[in-house]
Every structure is written in structure tokens, then in C-alpha cells.
Amino acid sequence: MLEEVGFKIHNDEALQILVDSGVNVDLEEKTAFIPSDLVNKTLKGLPSSFKLYDREGVNAIDIGGDKVWFAPGTTSVNLLDHNTGENRLAETQDCVNHARLVDALEHLALQCTSIVPGDVPNEVKDWYRLYINIVNSQKPHFTGPFTMEGFYDIMKILETVAGGKRELAEKPRAYICVETSSPLRIGEIPCQALIECARASIPVEIRFLGGLGSLAPITLVGSLVQQTAEFLGTLVIHQLVNSGAPVVWCGTPALFDMKYGTPILSGIETVMMETAMTQVGKYYNVPTGVRTLCSSTKVLDAETGLESGIGLLLSSLSGTNIIQGPGQMGNANLHSLQKLVIDHEVCGMAYHLMDGMSIGEDAFAFDLIKKVGPGGTHFLEKHTREYLNKEIYHPSEVIDRQTLPQWKRSGSRDVAGRSREYLESVISTHEPVALDADMKRDLDEVVWAIMKRYGIDSLPVHPFSA
Amino acid sequence: MTNDSLILMEDIISELRQAVKDYDPEAAEIAAKKVIDHGFDPVLAITKGLTEELREIGDKFGTGELWFIDLMAAANTVQAAVGILEPEIKRRNIKTESMGRFLIGTVEGDIHDIGKNIVTLLLKANGYEVIDIGVDIPADVFVERVRTDKPDFLGLSSLLTSSMPQQKKVIEALKENGLRDTVKVIIGGAAVNEKWASEIGADGFAEDAIDAIKVTQALTLKEGKGD
């Protein structure tokens, strides 16, 4: 596909890199015809895993192999207000609440710039939400730029947190999203961000959106092949810039709804393709990512639950390395803190499912069964107490397990009510680890310099004024 | 017209309608050529043979009986026939009113065009003259095209949050060049919303391709054009 049909690259630097490597490039059409031997060579040199570090550079998670991590979905402009139930434009305070909540939720390994603050100037929308996440959490980050200026601002912020360019390369605190423009194209900004990340050894996620029957063939395998071609074409550029630079292959293949004429991300076909893509990724030995918890719904209802639940479980069992989506609804146009905590429960269930059952003589419990005998109970047995936390997943009060009378007595609340109470409690009681004074000062100076450059006097959450 | 001619014209109109039903652009072109070869009325061929059939398909899409791709395939077939009939209408100097002239493009910094392409196809099928100037179009090029092409409508597509400010830039540039009042500006794109549209002073905002047609038609009616 890459050799015959070609890959259109709206970036002169990338085209030149390919020309210099002997690739046949039609410069006028901006199309490269990438040969398979170059692709194979690229795949051989690819790192099969990399580490992502927390803010202080102390702890890291391994991205790769069969280890599964969960991260909130991204990037939504609208927010489902957990107080009013209203679907409204998101604001800075929502970003703050989200960051603090994600910091507290144990099964979410990563922060994401999930929410676009609508109450700030356009020029700051991308880096500013990252800044808020950094201030409110130690967890590693997933983010992406809206413009190249935004990209350089993001890099500056990350370098400041790490203590320098080299330090950031050695211990990356974030990985950056780069998306292709199907079919078989990549735009100027994503491509430039790709090149810069490769140069700086910052991990990059190469992401495909596609669209069955719109921007990709309607047949799932056809779409999968196109997705793979787009990944490989982008990967070749990335690895030519810096062989061995870390990368994640992400698929969020959309369905094009043939009734409403819009892309959706919640269909069973998306889940099918993402699990298939993970299998291909494992064949290539490259870290994988998917977005399988994004529902199409605009309210918290049964459809929301089932779309998230199905997606999350299937992708966990596939062993995808980074599973994104908790909190995301409305086909990635709407974010919800309530959905985030509900999805978080499913993440916990998924981890429990992946851990499997305890096996072994003690687990088989023959002697115990004999001891308890026919008609006896296991309530008082030490064995029951010993295995309670390992064998059984204990959900938070977000998940309803009460009897009917108990449920009525505690207010007859549905999941919307229970999740609202839970998230409010977490946000008000959880204290994220604060930035140390030196890092805070350095970061504040960088942020202030960016604000000054844009002529911005103040932002809703900002370091200090003039 | 003789009786034979009437029957023949009716047959050709049936052929056109069948071609649209079958989503067969080639068959549509063949039928369209027959209209010309027999010297029949090309405007009648369009209204009776194409527009009516498309409207029926549009209605079925509205009720959920047909799919989005059916609508697009039908519109594409209509366009194939119109491509043959329109030059004949010009050649014969027949006066027709298009619903309006629509200039459309994706703003600077953005190469996404699927929404724009669907809108273009559907607008054409609904009787609008559409000039699609492509993707990644700077504001001054939009202004220049508005000046020279004199469209009734200007459609600005922007998928990316980062390129949305360009929609504002184009509107400002039209104002600076004294052209703002000559054209109705409609904006669209996944990140676009009503608040942004009213903030930048757009005349309309389309949530998706189908909505774009509705918004355009509503603005057309307001202007006193069309049925």
C-alpha cells in the first residue's frame, strides 16, 4: 500500500528526510512511496518498550510488553456538569477538578489533557491544561499540541519539570499525540511535532482515526490494513530522524454512522478493530494504545455503561498497553467526572480479571472443604479472611450492591448520584503532592514568560501577576 | 411535441430516475445525453428526472429507511447527469435560477476535507452552484475569491481547534475589505459551536453536513430566493 498508493505528507522537512534516504518522493504531490525493505528495517530497530516517569522523575511505568495501563480519554471541549446535569463548555476549574481526581484514582496510571478550557484565549488552550495537570498531580502525562507554538511551549514546560532537555530525554514525563489524517495522509503540524519529538527522544503516540466507509474501507480488515500503513509510513519518518526513539501505536478507529453521517467511537466494530490492531502491534513488538471507553451518549445511562464496559474489558484481555477513554462520552466531544469514576471501577475490575484466580493447593481448599463439611459455612474461616482482598474486587460506593431496603434507606440513588457524591468527596479530601518550591518557581517563570509573550495578564489559575 | 416525442421524453425521464435509484452515474450520463440528442428540455429533465427522485431519496433518508451513503450515492449520480445537462442549458441560453452560489473551503492550517466534500455534494444536488477552493486556504485567498466569484454564501470548514481562529480571521478580513455584507458566512467543523459562531459574527453554523444544507436553505429563504 505504501509503495503503490503512497503516503501524502504535508511537511517539507519530512519529505526531504525521505528523499535523502533514497525514498521515491513526488515532491509536487507531497507523496512518498515507501518501500517495504525500509519499513522492515525500521521495524527491526524499534524499541519494544520505554519508561514514563512521574513528575519528580523517581517512579516509572513500563510501556510495552503485556502490561496494561489505563488513562482518561482526551480531548473534549464540552463537560457534563455533575451538579446541574448540563452539557456545557468546559472551563479551567473543570481541568483542575479533573486533574485532582485522576491523581487520586489508583487504577489510572496517567494524567491526560482530557478537557479543553473554554474560558482562556485560544493560544494557551493546549499547554495550559498540561500545566494544570502538572501542578495538581505527580502522574506521568499524555498530551498533544494544537499549534507548533503550543508544542514548543509544552516542551519548555516539560523540560523545566525534568530539569533540562537531556534530563527529559532520559526520563520522559509525558508522551505526545500525533494523529494522521486518513486516508494515507499526515498534516504539517502533527508531522512537525513527530520530528521534534523524535529529535528530543520524547515518546510519541502515532494515532489513527479513520472511519469505516468514509475515510477507510468499510471492511474492518481493510481499515486495519490502511491503519497499519499509516502507522508504518509515519513510523519510518520518525525512526529516520532518530532510530530507536520511543513510540506507541494507537488506534481509535471510528465508525462512520450511516444514519446520522457522523463519526462515532463506541461501536462494537471499533472494539473489534482495536483488539485486532493490538495483535498486529504485538507481532511488530511495538507498544500499543487504544481508546475503547468512549461512549456516544450525552447522559449517564445504561448505554454509557455498556459501551464503556464492553470496550474496556475486551481491550484489557487483548493486552493493549495504554487503554484510554475513562470519562469520555459524546463521541469524544464530552467529558464527565462522574463517568470517570464509574469507568474507574471497571478499570479495577479489569485489573482483577487480568490477575485471574488464585491457583494452588491452598486455593483449591480441599482440606478446608472437608473441614467445613456438608452444610457448613466459610464465614469464620481464616482462609476466607486471608484471601478476601486478593480474590475479590471491592468496588467503591459508586457501584451499588445494597439490598432493596438498604438502598431505599440510603436515599434510592442511582449511579449518577453515587458517583457525584464520591467524586466530590475525593476532590475535597485528596491532597496531591505539591510541587517543591524550586520546581514551582521555575515552572511559574516559564508560564509567566509564555503569558507575557501572548500579552495575557492573567489566567484563571496562574502563577503570579506582573 | 408529437405524441411519440412525449412518450420518448417520458421514457428518458424514467431512465434518469432509474439511474438515480440505482446510483449509476454512467446510466445517468447516457440518459442525459439522450435528452440532448433528441433536443428535449434539459431543465425539465433535471427537475422531473433528477430533483424529484433525489427528494424522495432524501425523504427516505430522513425517515431512516435509507442510509447516508445512499444519499451521497444518489447525489453523486445526479451530479453526473447535471454535468452533461448544464452545459446544454448554457448553450441554449435558457435562464435558470440556481438556488445560490456557494463558495467553500477548509481554512488555513487544516487539511481535513471530508465534511466539506459531503456538504459540497449535497449542496450541488440541492440546486446550489458550488465552488470548492480546497484545503489550507489563507484568509486573503477567501477574500479574493469572494471579490471575484461573488458568491451568495461562504462556507468555512475547520476540524481542528487550532485552526478555528482562522474562521474569525476570514470574517474580519471580509469586513476590512468592505465585502462582509455581500455574503452569508456559514461555519462548520467538529469543534465549532453556536457560541463561537455568534462570537465571530457568522451568519450560520452547521453541526454536520445535513445541517449545513438546512442552514443554507433557511438563509436562502430569508433572502427571498428559491421556492
The answer to whether the beta carbons of residues A109 and A69 sit under 8 Å apart is: yes
Is residue A64 in a domain? yes
Taking contacts as CB-CB distances below 8 angstroms, the residues of chain A near B67 are: 258-259
Q: How many domains does chain A have?
A: 2
- pLDDT > 90: what percent of chain A? 85
**Interface contact A125-B161, CB threshold 8 A:** yes
Long-range contacts of A296-299 (CB under 8 A, 24+ apart): A296/A264, A296/A265, A296/A266, A296/A329, A296/A330, A296/A331, A297/A266, A297/A329, A297/A330, A298/A80, A298/A87, A298/A329, A298/A330, A298/A334, A299/A80, A299/A85
Q: Which three cell numbers stand for residue A64?
A: 510495552
Q: Which tens digits make up the pLDDT trace of A114-130?
A: 999 999 998 899 999 99
Q: Distance between alpha carbon A277 and the CA centroid of its chain, in Å?
A: 16
Tell which B residues from 138 to 177 touch A, by Cβ distance under 8 Å: 160-162, 164-165
Is residue A325 in a domain? yes
* Candidates B136, B164, B210; nearest CB to A261: B210
**Nearest residue of B to residue A179 by CA position?**
B160
CA distances from A457 to A123, A124, A385, A462, B98 (A): 13, 12, 59, 10, 51
> Under DSSP, is residue A7 helix (H, G, I), strand (E, B) or coil?
strand
Cα–Cα–Cα angle for A346, A352, A353, nearest 5°? Answer: 85
How far does chain B reach from its first CA to its final CA, in angstroms? Answer: 28
Least confident residue range of A94-103, A427-436, B114-123 = B114-123
pLDDT surpassing 70 at residue B225 = no
Rounded Cα distance, A355 and A52, in Å: 23
For the ranges A53-57, A306-310, B3-7, the maximum mean pLDDT occurs at: A53-57
* Candidates A77, A189, A261; nearest CB to B209: A261
The answer to whether the beta carbons of residues B222 and B216 sit under 8 Å apart is: no
Query: So what's the pLDDT on residue A466?
Result: 40
Q: Which three cell numbers stand for residue B186?
A: 456559514
Is residue A410 in a domain? no
Rounded Cα distance, A232 and A223, in Å: 14
> Under DSSP, is residue A136 helix (H, G, I), strand (E, B) or coil?
coil
Peptide bond into A183 cis (omega under 30): yes
In the structure, what pLDDT confidence band is assigned to residue B98 with cuts at 50, 70 and 90? confident
pLDDT surpassing 80 at residue B7 = no
Q: Which three cell numbers stand for residue A242?
A: 532518530
Query: So what's the pLDDT on residue B226?
Result: 45
* Candidates B109, B114, B162; nearest CB to A215: B114
Q: Which three cell numbers stand for residue B184?
A: 452569508
Which DSSP letter does residue A181 get?
Answer: -
Rounded Cα distance, A459 and A452, in Å: 11
Min distance B37 CA to chain A CA atoms (Å): 37
Strands in A141-143's sheet, in edge-to-edge order, are: A69-71, A322-324, A288-291, A247-251, A204-208, A174-179, A141-143, A111-112
Rounded Cα distance, A144 and A203, in Å: 12
> Are A194 and A342 in a shared domain?
yes
**Nearest residue of A to residue B160 by CA position?**
A146
Query: So what's the pLDDT on residue B2?
Result: 72
Would an 8 Å CB–CB cutoff place B112 in contact with chain A? yes
Range of the domain at A197: 44-355
**Nearest residue of A to residue B65 by CA position?**
A259
Q: Which tens digits make up the pLDDT trace of B154-181?
A: 999 988 777 888 999 999 999 999 999 9
**Nearest residue of A to residue B111 by CA position?**
A187
Would an 8 Å CB–CB cutoff place B110 in contact with chain A? yes
Query: So what's the pLDDT on residue B1?
Result: 59
> Are A367 and A233 in a shared domain?
no
**Interface contact A77-B161, CB threshold 8 A:** yes
In the structure, what pLDDT confidence band is assigned to residue A43 with cuts at 50, 70 and 90? very high
Residues 6+ apart with CB under 8 A from B90: none
**Interface contact B68-A260, CB threshold 8 A:** yes
* Candidates B118, B165, B190; nearest CB to A122: B165
> Are A273 and A221 in a shared domain?
yes
Is residue A33 in a domain? no
**Number of neighbouring beta carbons within 10 Å of residue A200:** 19
**Amino acid type, B125:** A
Q: What is the DSSP string of B54-113?
A: HHHHHHHHHHTSS-HHHHHHHHHHHHHHHHHHHHHHHHTT-----SEEEEEEEBTT----
Is residue A408 in a domain? no
The answer to whether the beta carbons of residues A155 and A32 sit under 8 Å apart is: no
Query: So what's the pLDDT on residue A382?
Result: 92
**Nearest residue of B to residue A145 by CA position?**
B162
Is residue A299 in a domain? yes
Which is nearest to A186 in space by CA: A377, A309, A32, A350?
A32
**Interface contact B208-A259, CB threshold 8 A:** no
Taking contacts as CB-CB distances below 8 angstroms, the residues of chain B near A258 are: 67-69
Average pLDDT for A53-76: 94
**Interface contact A146-B114, CB threshold 8 A:** no
**Amino acid type, A23:** V
Q: Which tens digits make up the pLDDT trace of A341-364?
A: 999 999 999 999 999 999 999 999
**Amino acid type, A403:** T
The answer to whether the beta carbons of residues A422 and A341 sit under 8 Å apart is: yes
> Are A144 and A269 in a shared domain?
yes
Structural fold of domain B3-91: 1.10.1240
Least confident residue range of A39-53, A312-326, B112-126, B166-180 = B112-126
Min distance B213 CA to chain A CA atoms (Å): 13
Residue A447 or residue B190, greater confidence: A447
Q: Which three cell numbers stand for residue A383?
A: 482462609
Rounded Cα distance, A250 and A253, in Å: 9
**Amino acid type, A260:** Y
Q: Which three cell numbers stand for residue B221?
A: 429563504
Query: So what's the pLDDT on residue A464?
Result: 55
Alpha helices by DSSP H, listed for B92-177, are 114-125, 139-149, 165-176
CA distances from B44 to A57, B3, B35, B61 (A): 74, 17, 10, 25
Rounded Cα distance, A348 and B13, in Å: 64
Would an 8 Å CB–CB cutoff place B75 in contact with chain A? no
Residues 6+ apart with CB under 8 A from A384: A378
Residues of A engaging B, defined by a Cβ cutoff of 8 Å = 10, 75, 77, 89, 116, 122, 125-126, 146-147, 150, 181, 185, 187-189, 211, 213-215, 256-262, 333
In the structure, what pLDDT confidence band is assigned to residue A465 with cuts at 50, 70 and 90? very low
Q: Which residue in A214, A215, A331, A335 has the most chain B C-beta atoms within 10 A of its own C-beta, making it the best mutation to test that interface?
A: A214
**Number of neighbouring beta carbons within 10 Å of residue A248:** 24
Per-domain boundaries in chain B: 3-91, 100-222
> Under DSSP, is residue A107 helix (H, G, I), strand (E, B) or coil?
coil
**Amino acid type, A240:** L
Strands in B184-188's sheet, in edge-to-edge order, are: B128-132, B100-106, B153-157, B184-188, B204-206
Average pLDDT for B118-126: 85
Min distance A78 CA to chain B CA atoms (Å): 10
> Are A252 and A374 in a shared domain?
no
Is residue A100 in a domain? yes
Min distance B55 CA to chain A CA atoms (Å): 17
**Interface contact A213-B69, CB threshold 8 A:** yes
Min distance A126 CA to chain B CA atoms (Å): 9
Query: So what's the pLDDT on residue B192?
Result: 84
Here the CATH number for the domain that contains residue A342 is 3.20.20.480
Q: Distance between alpha carbon A177 and the CA centroid of its chain, in Å?
A: 9
Q: Which residue in A74, A86, A122, A298 has the most chain B C-beta atoms within 10 A of its own C-beta, making it the best mutation to test that interface?
A: A122
- pLDDT > 70: what percent of chain A? 99
- The dihedral formed by the CA atoms of A372, A373, A379 and A380, expressed in degrees to the nearest 10: -30
**Nearest residue of A to residue B119 by CA position?**
A261
Query: So what's the pLDDT on residue B224?
Result: 63
Q: Which three cell numbers stand for residue A169?
A: 530525554
Q: Which three cell numbers stand for residue A445?
A: 517563570
Average pLDDT for B121-134: 88
Query: So what's the pLDDT on residue B62?
Result: 79
* Candidates B68, B110, B161; nearest CB to A261: B68
3-state helix, strand, coil in chain A (%, to 5): 45, 15, 40
Q: Which three cell numbers stand for residue A318?
A: 487483548
**Interface contact A122-B193, CB threshold 8 A:** no
**Interface contact B161-A89, CB threshold 8 A:** no
Average pLDDT for B78-87: 90
**Interface contact A146-B161, CB threshold 8 A:** yes
Rounded Cα distance, A31 and A24, in Å: 9
Is residue A148 in a domain? yes
Q: Which tens digits make up the pLDDT trace of A9-42?
A: 999 999 999 999 999 999 999 999 999 999 999 9
- The ipTM of this complex is 0.72
pLDDT surpassing 50 at residue B227 = no
Q: Which CATH superfamily is domain B100-222 in?
A: Cobalamin-binding domain (3.40.50.280)
> Are A274 and A366 in a shared domain?
no
Q: Which tens digits make up the pLDDT trace of A79-137?
A: 999 999 999 999 999 999 999 999 999 999 999 999 999 999 988 999 999 999 999 99
In the structure, what pLDDT confidence band is assigned to residue B114 with cuts at 50, 70 and 90? confident
Using DSSP bridges, classify how beta strands A185-186 and A7-9 pair: parallel, antiparallel or unpaired: parallel
The answer to whether the beta carbons of residues B86 and B45 sit under 8 Å apart is: no
Residues 6+ apart with CB under 8 A from A179: A144, A190, A207, A208, A209
